[in-house]
Structures are given as structure tokens and as C-alpha cells.
Structure 1
Amino acid sequence: MSIESSFINFLSIYFFSGYTIFNTIVYGIILVLVLFMIIKIFKNYKINPTDLIIPLIPFIFLGSSVRALVDNGIYPYNWFLITPGIYFIVAGIVVLSLFLGIFIQKKTNFDFKYTLFFIGLILAIINLINIQSINLIAFSQVILSWLVMTVIFIIVGIFWDLFTLSSYDGKINLSIISAHLFDASSTFIAVDYYGYFEQHVLPGSIYNLAGTAITMFPLKIIVICISLYIIDKYVDDEILSGTLKLAIFILGLAPGVRNFLSLAIGTWI
């Protein structure tokens, strides 16, 4: 067996055959390294990371919808269209689009965030066109579950400054917890009602112990609330704080959209 074949075989076993403790740790290390690189970019161009939450939503949809279309056999199964390949590619497109937006802003004063958003939107529309049918029942179940949980946290924000709508940080924190509640909702409905299974190591282990994916809600709420509280209270650097929050938002919304679309465009009920 050649070195090239051995390397491909290694990747297939340890990275493209589902989530394991090993590849979860590797992905975590890669994420930390990427965050350091992104922090330098944000500091160099004086960008508030949380201002990118809305402009990045189309790119999140782009990566997650490609993965969902692969899950349902609409796109072919290959390294470039599955995790983590598709997310590396989308991340590269985001960085290039960001630099293009900054360049255009310097030349025309056109806000780079709009350039970033519209590039992502145009690319995302391509996948949207390829969604040929929607399971309205599954679609409604996830949306209703997510809305109920999000409204609960809007009410919580009346009593807890962490999620208050009267401040910028509170609105950002609410969007982050809402993204993770969307992920929890899509996982809960898909696993408990449609026979899907949880791929990630820790949530999957908790699900196996409890026998229900509704455990995703307390797990997400506890982890995200603690994380946001620590960031707001102890991280004074605005760029570092914003980057961490942006990363947490993406880590919630990306798998949530992928799960939601995989379920909603599924060919069976």
C-alpha cells in the first residue's frame, strides 16, 4: 500500500466514519488554532466579531445545507461535501469574502458586512434551489419547539441581564442561546420521533443513558449559560470576547441547520 493510500485510509477510518473521542479532540485543537488566527485578523482590521453574526448566517446555511443535501442523496458523497471538508471550504470562502469586503469598503465606503452577507446569500440560494420538497410536519415540529424555548429565554431576559433585550450584549447572548436551542430542537425531534441518532460523543452518551434526546436542552442551556456568564464577567478584551461568542454561535447554528434540513427534506416520515 502506498503512502498516499495509507493516508487516505487513515482519514477514512478516523475522520470520515463518524465522530469519535479522537477526532473530536483534533477538531477542537484545530478550532483553537483557527480562533487565534481569526482574532489577529479582527484586531488588525478593528472588527467587532459579534457584528458578523448576521452576515455569516448565509454561509452557515451554505455549509449546513450542502451537508444535508448529501445526507439525502441529492449531492454526491465525497470529502469536499461532508464534515469536516465542507466546513473548511466554507471557512476559506468566508475569509476571502471578508478580505474582498474590506477592500471594497476602502475603495467605496460600502460596508464590508453587506458584501459578506450578499456573497453568502448568493451562494446559499444555489442550495436552496436544490431543495425539492419539505416535510412540513417535521419542519413545524422543530420550529415550534425552538420558538417555545426561545420565548422562555426572552422572558428570562426580563429578570436576568445576561439575556436582556435592553442591551447589545444581552441581544447577542440571546441569539447565541437561541442558536443552540435550535440545534437542541432539531436533534430532539429527529432522534425521538424520526429514528435518527446523535453522532457527537458526549450528547450521544447522555442520550443513551437517558433514552431521550430531550436531554440536549438542559445540556445546552447549562453549558452555554455558564460559558456566556464567564465570558461577560471575566474576558475584558472585546475582540477575544466577541470571537468566542461568534464561535459559540456558529457551533450551535451550523449543526442545528444541518440537522433541521436533513430532517425536513428527508424522503420519509
Structure 2
Amino acid sequence: MNILDFISRYFIQPIYNGEGYNIYNTVVYGLVLGVGIILVEKLLIKLRIKVDFRFFIALLPFLIFASTSRSLVDASIFPRTALLITPGIFITTAFLAFFSLIVSLGLQKRGIEYHKTMFALGSILTVYPIYKVFTSISHWKPLILISFLLLFSILIFMYGFERLGYSQLKNPWVKAVFTGHLLDATATIVGVTYYGFFEEHVFGNWLIHLTHTAYIIYPLKLVVLVIIIYIIDSMVEEKQRSYWYLAFFIIGFAPGLRDALTIMLLG
């Protein structure tokens, strides 16, 4: 197998055939994601953008755009093009968000707060994907199941951590990270257990087959998150921690929302 065949087999074909991840593209995409997070952090510092609640709200429509568009690709409503499937959808969304941020910063010089303009531009982007999603959904039962399990898991795990004295949960950003990843875990569990979907990630898929239950994703997520939060709190300067919390919230929330919508579209 030459290098072109290798790239085609482990990188190109899985994207267009919906095969999920393998060990090779998992490692490469993980490295690219890590580098991307670092570069975006440096860019925001250079632009003097403070990652706070205003920035979070301004960015939220772009996350919804990415998740809804990706779910519409899964349902064959949007075409399976390089710009709308993983990892291309991340590049597309990042470009749109960055362009909107630059425009918003330009208008801020005229007295309009940047986060308001950015939120408005992002909201315009989401109108058509949201319309297509909600006019194409044929199965509403998964919404009830996902909502119930998500709320139940949040209450149980938050209560458990508080009883154990896990003080980090006093930080709203940490709560957001846990909520985003619990959504991702819940959507995966519902999809695999009740609707015949499969876990795309290598380790998660292996663990599900090993334990014969998708519910193993809950403790897996929690262990990984506790480690990540510890690393952020230990190694990242306090003024930059909110950015890293936001980055890991996105990593959980965006695919979680996409999976939930895909289940509702395909059933």
C-alpha cells in the first residue's frame, strides 16, 4: 500500500462513506484539533478578545449552525461535501465565525458592541439549517428520551460530585463543560442502545463492545473530564482558563447536538 492508498483508505474513504474514525485519522485529527485550539487562543489574545459570557453567546449560533448542518448531511438532506462533513465542517464554521468576528470588531469602532453583531450574523446563518431540520424531523420520541436522560444524568452527577466535595463545579464554565459532554454521551447512548446507530470513535466503540452497553460512555466521559479540568486548572493561566473551558465545551456540545438531531431525523 503506497502513501496515496493509505491516505485514501484511512482518511478520505471514512469521511465520504460514513465509516467513523480509525486509529490513524483519530491521532491526526486530534493533533490538528490541538494545534487549532492553540492558534485560535493566540489569535484571540492578539485581537484582545476576552472569552466571557458575551463571547460565548456570540459564538453559540455558529455552533448550532455546525451541528444542524452536519445532521442534515447525515440525513442526506444536505450534500456530503468536504466543507460540511468532519473535519471540514469545523474549518467552515471557524472561517465563518472568524469573518463575522472581524466584521463585528470593525462595527464596534462605530459604537456597536461586537458580540451583538456577531450573534446577529451567526443567527442569520442558522435560519435555513434550523428550518430544514424542524421541517424534516420525523421522529420526536428521541427528543423526549434524550432530554430525560440528559436532565437525569446532570442532576445525578452534579449532586454526586458536590457530595464528594468537587469544588470545581462552582465554576459556571466547568458546569458548561460537563453539560456539553453529558449531552454528547446521552445522544450516543440513545442512538446506540435504542436506534441502531454506532459509536464513531475508536476507543468508545471498543469499550461499548467490551462491556456490551453504551451506558459505559457516562463514566468514561466523567473520568476524562475530571482529568482535563485538573490539567486546565493546574497548567493554564487563570485569565486563559475560560477559553480552554469553552474549547472543551464545544468539543462535547457540538457533536452531541448533531447526534441528537440526526437521531430525530433518521429515527
TM above 0.5, yes or no, is yes
Q: TM-score, normalised by structure 1?
A: 0.87
* Cα-to-partner distance string for 1:172-209 (whole Å, 9 max, x where unaligned): 10011000000000000010011100011111111110
1:66 counterpart residue number: 69
1:179 counterpart residue number: 180
- How far, CA to CA, are the matches of 2:7 and 2:21 in structure 1? 17
Secondary structure of the residue aligned to 1:129 is helix
Contact 1:64–1:254 (CA under 8 A) maintained in structure 2: yes
1:85 counterpart residue number: 88
Contact 1:48–1:242 (CA under 8 A) maintained in structure 2: no
Q: CA deviation at 1:134?
A: 4.4
2:245 counterpart residue number: 245
1:193 counterpart residue number: 194
Q: TM-score, normalised by structure 2?
A: 0.88
Contact 1:14–1:23 (CA under 8 A) maintained in structure 2: no
Q: CA deviation at 1:9?
A: 4.4
**What letter is aligned with 1:93?**
L
- How far, CA to CA, are the matches of 1:114 and 1:157 in structure 2? 35
**What letter is aligned with 1:113?**
H
CA RMSD, 1 decimal = 2.3
Secondary structure of the residue aligned to 1:223 is helix
> Which of 99, 102, 105 is matched with 1:99 structurally?
102
2:145 counterpart residue number: 141
> Which of 55, 73, 78 is matched with 1:75 structurally?
78
- How far, CA to CA, are the matches of 2:258 and 2:77 in structure 1? 14
**What letter is aligned with 1:91?**
A
1:151 aligns to 2:155 (yes or no): yes
1:167 counterpart residue number: none
Q: CA deviation at 1:229?
A: 2.4
Q: CA deviation at 1:157?
A: 4.2
Q: CA deviation at 1:226?
A: 1.8
- How far, CA to CA, are the matches of 2:177 and 2:8 in structure 1? 37
Which is worse superposed, 11-20 or 21-30?
A: 11-20
- How far, CA to CA, are the matches of 2:56 and 2:39 in structure 1? 18
- How far, CA to CA, are the matches of 1:45 and 1:129 in structure 2? 34
**What letter is aligned with 2:141?**
I
Contact 2:100–2:118 (CA under 8 A) maintained in structure 1: yes
Secondary structure of the residue aligned to 1:81 is coil
- Where structure 2 has 5 or more consecutive residues not aligned to the other structure, the ranges are none
Percent identity of paired positions between Structure 1 and Structure 2 = 31
Q: CA deviation at 1:79?
A: 1.8
Secondary structure of the residue aligned to 2:109 is helix
